[in-house]
Structure 1
Amino acid sequence: MWYLISYVEEALKYIEANYSEAVTIQDLANWLGLERTYLYRLFNSMVGMSPQAYLLDVRIRQACTLLTHSDLTITNIARSVGYEDSLYFSRLFRRKKGQTPSQYRLTHQSPESNS
């Protein structure tokens, strides 16, 4: 059973280290040497969400940090969290956070990011 936990821990580390790349869950499964569907079931049972949902959460969390602590454009933030299409990124962000990245920045920006 410990090796199953190890697979999930390695998957979490991989996602945290590679979220800024155009990484897919198939890439993750290949890296771990697992079938994609097996990885999905294992990850979902131990983390409580799919690998794809976890990847999205990591990307949105990092985007929130960049929105509040930098003056990067939305396009640059989208690229830095793994999305080439900033409109797609904005739709995903709004779905997760209930507001656009620009609205989020206006309501959450820290004072030191303006310097």
Structure 2
Amino acid sequence: MLNDLCREIGISRSFCCRYFKQMMNMTISDYFLEYRLSQALSLLKNSDKAISEVALQSGFSTISYFISVFRKKRGVTPLEYKKNKIFLTINP
């Protein structure tokens, strides 16, 4: 997808990635990871969906990866977040 976009607008992938990091102060991958985590936070906060369903709807390929990333970035597991209503800020 990124290759297609770069080809369409006539820039190299490496230039695009460097420029994105310079402007956003994070890599494209980190940006999408944060976006998926923010989607998960919203689902955990505003729905009764199971953790596995939240993971898949947020774009994570496996539940274990979702739990690992969530804990690393937010300091608690998704289940702890959901059960305790720890509505954390969405700071990376």
What TM bracket, shorter-length normalisation? 0.7 to 0.9
Q: How many residues in Structure 1 have an aligned counterpart in Structure 2?
A: 84
Structure 2 residues without counterparts, runs of 5 or longer:
88-92
1:97 maps to 74
Q: Which structure exhibits the higher relative contact order, with contacts defined as CA atoms closer than 8 Å and separated by 6 or more residues?
A: 1
Q: Give % identity.
A: 32
Q: TM-score, normalised by structure 2?
A: 0.81
Shifted more, 59-68 versus 99-108: the winner is: 99-108
Runs of 4+ in structure 1 over 6 Å off: none
- The answer to whether the aligner puts 1:55 opposite 2:32 as a matched pair is yes
Measured on the aligned residues, the alpha-carbon RMSD in Å equals 1.7
Distance 1:47 1:29, change over 3 A: farther
| Higher helix proportion (structure 1 or 2) | 1
Q: TM-score, normalised by structure 1?
A: 0.66
Structure 1 residues without counterparts, runs of 5 or longer:
1-26, 111-115
Pairing 1:9-48 to 2, within 5 Å after superposition: 27-33=1-7, 34-48=11-25
Whole-Å separation in 1 of the counterparts to 2:21 and 2:61: 27
